[in-house]
Every structure is written in structure tokens, then in C-alpha cells.
Chain A
Amino acid sequence: MSDNSKRITIPIGPQHPALKEPGCFTITLEGEKVVNAVVGVGYNHRGLEKACESRTYIQDLYIIERVCGICSHTHSTAFCQGVEELVGVEISPRAKFIRVIMAELERLHSHLLWLGVAAHEIGFDTLFMYSWRDRELVLDMLAMLGGNRVNYGINTLGGVRRDITPEMKELIHKTLNIVEEQNKYYIDLALHETTLAARLSGIGKLSHEDAIKYGAVGPVARASMVKDDIRVSEPYAAYDQIPVKVVTDDHCDVFGRAVVRVLEIMESISMIRFALDNMPDGDLAVKFPRKVPAGEVFSRTEAPRGEDTHYIRGNGTDKPDRVRVRAASEANWHGMQHMLEGDYLADVPIIIAAIDPCYSCTDRAFIVKDLDHGDQRVWDWQSLKRYSVDWYKKRGFDASKIKLAERRI
């Protein structure tokens, strides 16, 4: 009991300067030490999967691209190659290479973004400004290739929509040289700057065994010596024709995650160069049928944050029967509580930031079927509406008067 009186519980979020998206971390402190952490996500449920089911595959591309603002290309790649597999279409080698180039450029911008966010969390605003300045160069390249800075819209079912011309290639090579030069400086900074190393080392520990136990993916797993990379273990697009080196690190902490990410930027740069120089000629997209045969498919890609999986079930029409998206951050949330406990409050933001969390990509609604008691609830639109009305009524808000449009099926 006496222990409890010394403890205070402090909420980090849902609105907090350290969090870029809403999420609630209830931190119990003893002095400045975290003794308990409860991770609460789910503020950003957007009903994307359900929305996909009522639209055609082509329309879904638009939604899927917007699952995540940062790794939009990886989601649309996963969706496209899943549907392509269902139909049994092989896309042209050139389209595969363009997909890889986009994916790696996306990784560049995502990792540079992470570096800035992480630096900001520990009060190192200079690095934040520098890395975001260089990220602009990468975003400009993406805008040139896809027409947009964030949602490039370059993927389509059966290939890609835009080509990379020789002039673009030249420009990308030039920009990559600048980014590489800058990144060498960041690597030096990340490895040798005293206050940075002092702040990042030894916090957010996730041992090799724990990383496997909690199912960590991406840079988080790789910083714990888990050699997990879909680009190597299950090469998609043109990754089987491009040398991919998996960067791992044995620090098992936030410092390791930073090292993995800055080194991965170098790898991505060399991969883009290789892909640009060895890009085969060919069509951009092949003809694609509107109707997709019945069947199910599981498609995986390596997002900047880790493994991204899509499950698609077709029913022979032009709309999917079910689309399930598991963004990379979702896999990394599970180890979060373990990583937070035992560290200082001052380290909470950077530990959360170290998995490069994407809150809204991960939020899904689940209905758990209670098989033991035979309560197999399948909720239709009306019962879902009734449930939400009751839910708000309990909290003192009567929503029953609000007229909702009937859903067309």
C-alpha cells in the first residue's frame, strides 16, 4: 500500500506534443521511473476495410493508398500484387522495377522523417530540421515520379501508371548523391554524438528472444538481431533481381533502431541506383479484367516500418469479399509495454517514437467470437447502429435522433 501512495499515473495522450497522432499511454510512475504502462490505441478507426468491401477493386486502390500517409506505396503494392495473384496476371518486369524504386524512395523519406521525429522527441531540434530538409529532396523526387508528395498513385492493377524517363533517372541519380552525402553525416552523428548516444543507449530494451516473442517486425526486430525482411525472405516485385542487404544490429535498444534506420537509408540508396541502371524495357501495365475470380490470397510487402500484410478474398464479382490490412506498426505495438516499463518518463516519448508508430494505420475494429459459449455474433448494419447508440447513451449523449443513411449493399 505504501508503494501505491508514491505512485502517480500520468496520461500521455490522446493529445500530447510528443504524439503525432492520437493514442493514449497511461504511465504509472514511481518518481521518474515507469512501473506500469498501458498502451491504448484505437482513436482513429476509419472503417477502411469495410469501405473496401463495398467498392470495386479499382476504387479500393484509392482507399488502400490512404491506409497510411507515410508508407502509402507499400500498401497499394501489397494490395495490387494480391489481386494480380488472384487473377493470375504477371506484370511486366519494368513495372516491377518501378514499384521497387518507388518503394525504396518511400523508405528513404520515411526513415529521414523518423530521424527528425526521434531527434525532436529528445530535444535535438537541429537534427530534426536538417533531416526534414533533406527529406524534402526525396519528396520532390516522389512528386516528380508519381505526381504527388505523399499518395503517389503510381500503382494500378496490372502494373504502374507512370514511366521513369531517362531525364528523371538522371535527376534521381543527382539527388541521391546529395542525400547520400548528408546521410553519411547523420550516420556519423548517430554513432558518435555524445548526448544523442547518451539519450538513446540502453532504453526501450527488447532482447532477441522478446523481439521474436512479441512478433516485432521491421527495424525494431532487426535492431534485436532478428534477420527479418520480406524483401529477402519472400522477394516480391523485382527484389529477387536486386541485391538486398539486411541491416541488423545487436544493441537491442532505441540506439540500435536508430543505427539500423540510418544504415538502411544507405542500402536503399544503393538499391535505387542499381534498379535505375538495370531497369528492363517493357510495358507499364498489362490489361486487367474488372471481375476477379473467387479465391483468397495473402500478400506481404516490406514497409519502411516492417512487414505489411494484406489478405484479400474475392467472390467472382468486381468487389472484394473481404480485405484485411495489417500495417507494420500493429505488430510492433505488442512489445511496447515491455519496452516502456523500467525506463524513465523522459524516455517514454522516444521509446514510443522508436518503433516509428503509425496510429491510424493500425486501428481496426474486432468482434471476437466467443466459441466456447456458442455466441457467434455477426453484426449487421442495424445492430451495429443500435450498439453505437447505446454506447453513447451510457455516456450521456443521445444519438438516436440522428438519422443515418441506410447502407446500400
Chain B
Amino acid sequence: MLMALFNIVIFPGLLFLGIYALFFAFLDRKLYARLQNRVGPPWFQPLADFCKLLGKETIIPQGADRRVFVSLPVFALAAVTTAFIYVPIWSVNSLFPFEGDLIVVLYLLTIPTLCFFLGGWYSTSLYATIGAVRALTQLFSYEVPLFMAMLAPAILAETWSISGISAYYAEHPLYILINIPAFLVAMVACQGKLERVPFDLPEAETEIVSGTFVEYSGRLFAIFKMAIDCELVVVSALIAAIFLPFHAANPWLGFLYFIIKTVIILILLCLFRASMARVRIEQMLMFCWKILTPLAIIQIIINLLVRGALA
């Protein structure tokens, strides 16, 4: 009981996730800045931002439903943190693995997006409403290829648990080469999930100010920001667990592997972000449905065939 509480609150739960998320946010900003030939922020900048936001006044719009407005950021953060518990960190196994946790994690990761939508919707601001609608439209476009790309490796591994998939590919490392298209699809689609350039339409600063978050301030905004940073960690960890199953028997070494893998994924995501312009919503829909989804379907077919050949 005490151990479980420790796991949930401190490691690898909320506290570790929070600290690692701040580190990730720093790394992301620093890399982005270096790619743009800028100096970039110092290491404590995300923490300083977080603390500063905590101390700021929280303003709730008059027309907004107070209870929903306040609870949405917490919901988002809670969902992301819960998802993290089912992702393997220092070994092939996560803390509480069970058959089907892949589906649970994917759905838990959808909750923040829904929170962004509802948050924007309940803000009763024009910009926020447009941002909210965009967030939902975007959800329908990237979610399908993302799910399919994540499920394709599961088909080959014949298990719906992340730990199971990890273990399978750790045993047959060469099989990950089959999943390269799915890896690419997942990388691109998760850029949409994380609302980063080129898919940062819901908060496109120059178009709709900051979209969903326009009315959020102070503590609530800090929690939302934290949820977004944590989501980045969880998504990278999930991709690392499924597509880069390199593990070590020693938990310390395994933990080091985890950090290296997630950082590599962050670097790839950052490169992606730095080299593109923001697309339009209809271009995003087109791209996701016409290119990513067929690619993911082909991957599933390939994996089914390989599975059949192996059996």
C-alpha cells in the first residue's frame, strides 16, 4: 500500500514526472533555440515560469462555468499522470501491467485534448471557442493514424499490453525494423496530439492569440502547462517503449536507457518542429486522412502478413 502510494506520488508518478517534464520543457526550448541560432533559456526557466504562474492572480471569466473551468486543468494533469504509470521505465515491465493497458494509455492521453476543448468552450471567449473547435477537429484527424500506428506493433507481438510489446521486441530486436513506417506515422501524429508546429493550430498565437488557453491564467494555466509538458514526456516514453525496446537487466542502466531513448525522440520531435510552418486546418485533415492513415493501414496489413508467415 505504502509502496503503491510512493509509486503514484513520488516515483515514477507525479513528482518524478513533473521534474522530468520540466527538464524536457527546458531541453525542448533550448534545442529549439539552438536550432534557430538563439541562445535559449537557462535550465531553470520552465521551473521559474511554473512558479511565477502559481503566484499570479487566477481570473475566471464571468460567463464561464466556475466548477468546470477550474477542474479541467486538474483532470488533464491527472489523466496524463495516470497514463505514465502504465508505461515501462526502468525495465520491460511497467509498474502495474495488465493485458490491454495500451488501449487505456491511449485513451487516457486523449483526455487532455478533450480538456483543452472543454476548457476553450467554457471560456466563452471567441478566440478560445475557435481554438476549442480546432482542437476537436484536429483530434479527429490525428487520433486514427496514431492509434493504428501504435496498434500495428501490438498485432505483431500478439499482446495489448505495453509491457508485453516491449518484452516481445526486446526478444526479437530485428522486428522493430518492420515497424519503421508506423514509427514515422506515430511521430508525425503525436506532433498533432502535443499541439506542436506544424500542428499547433488550436493555440496558433498569431491567428487566435493562444486559442484554448486565452482565458486561463495563474495557477490554472500553470497546471495546464504542466499537463502539456507531462504529456510530452508520456508520449515520448510510450513511443520509446513500443518502437525502441532496448532494455537492460540492471534497473539503473535501464533507467539511463529510458532517458536516452526519450531524449532521442524529443530531439526528433524538436527537429520536426523547427523545420516547418504551421499548416491550415483543412491541410492537416487532408494530410492525416490521405497520407498518414493509409500508411498506418499498410503497416497493419504488413504486420498481419508477417504474423501469418511466422505462425
Contacts and interface: CB of A to CB of B under 8 A. Distances in A.
Nearest to A350: B206
Contact of A129 (B36, B204, B280): B36
Contact of B37 (A8, A32, A130): A130
Given A129-B38, A133-B37, A195-B198, A348 B207 contact: yes
A349 B206 contact: yes
Interface in A118-176: 119-130, 133
Contact of B277 (A16, A32, A124, A129): A124
Contact of B205 (A10, A17, A193, A346): A17
A129 B39 CA distance: 11
A198 interface: yes
B71 interface: no
Contacts of A196: 277
A345 interface: yes
A369 interface: no
A126 B204 contact: no
Contact of A346 (B38, B276, B280): B280
Interface centre among A125, A129, A349 (most CB of B within 10 A): A125
A10 B278 contact: no
A239 interface: no
A346 B200 CA distance: 12
A245 interface: no
Given A16-B209, A122-B278, A195-B276, A346 B36 contact: no
Nearest to B137: A32
Interface residues of B, number: 27
Contacts of A17: 205-206, 209
Interface in B11-53: 35-38
A312 to B, nearest CB: 39
A120 B197 CA distance: 12
B278 A18 contact: no
Interface string B198-222: 1011001111110000000000000
B37 A129 contact: yes
A130 B36 contact: yes
Given A10-B127, A10-B130, A123 B197 contact: yes
A322 B274 CA distance: 51
A128 B209 CA distance: 18
Nearest to B126: A10
Contacts of A104: none
Nearest to B35: A126
Nearest to A18: B206
Contacts of B37: 129-130, 133
A120 B275 CA distance: 13
B207 A198 contact: no
B279 interface: yes
A195 B277 contact: yes
Contact of B281 (A8, A128, A130, A346): A346
Interface in A179-238: 193, 195-196, 198-199
B45 to A, nearest CB: 17
Nearest to A29: B130
Contacts of A347: 280
A121 B283 CA distance: 17
Contacts of B198: 123, 195
Contact of A123 (B35, B277, B282): B277
A77 to B, nearest CB: 33
B275 A126 contact: yes
Contact of A121 (B126, B127, B206): B206
A344 interface: yes
B247 to A, nearest CB: 35
Nearest to A117: B206
Contacts of A199: 277-280, 283
A126 B36 contact: yes
B279 A198 contact: yes
Given A16-B209, A126-B275, A345-B130, A32 B36 contact: no
A121 B280 CA distance: 12
Contacts of A16: 209
Contacts of B126: 8, 10
Interface centre among A17, A133, A196, A347 (most CB of B within 10 A): A17
Contacts of A128: 36
Given A10-B127, A10-B130, A129-B38, A119 B277 contact: yes
Contacts of B277: 119, 122-124, 127, 193, 195-196, 199
A17 B126 CA distance: 15
Interface string A1-26: 00000001010000011100000000
What 3 A-B pairs come out closest when comparing CB atoms?
A123-B278, A124-B277, A129-B36
19 contacts: A18-B206, A18-B207, A123-B204, A123-B206, A124-B276, A125-B197, A126-B35, A126-B36, A129-B37, A129-B38, A133-B37, A195-B198, A199-B277, A199-B283, A345-B130, A345-B207, A346-B204, A347-B280, A349-B206
Given A124-B277, A124-B278, A133-B37, 18 more contacts: A10-B127, A17-B205, A17-B209, A18-B207, A121-B206, A123-B200, A123-B204, A123-B206, A126-B275, A129-B36, A193-B277, A195-B276, A195-B279, A198-B279, A199-B279, A199-B283, A346-B280, A347-B280
Interface of A: 8, 10, 16-18, 32, 119-130, 133, 193, 195-196, 198-199, 344-349
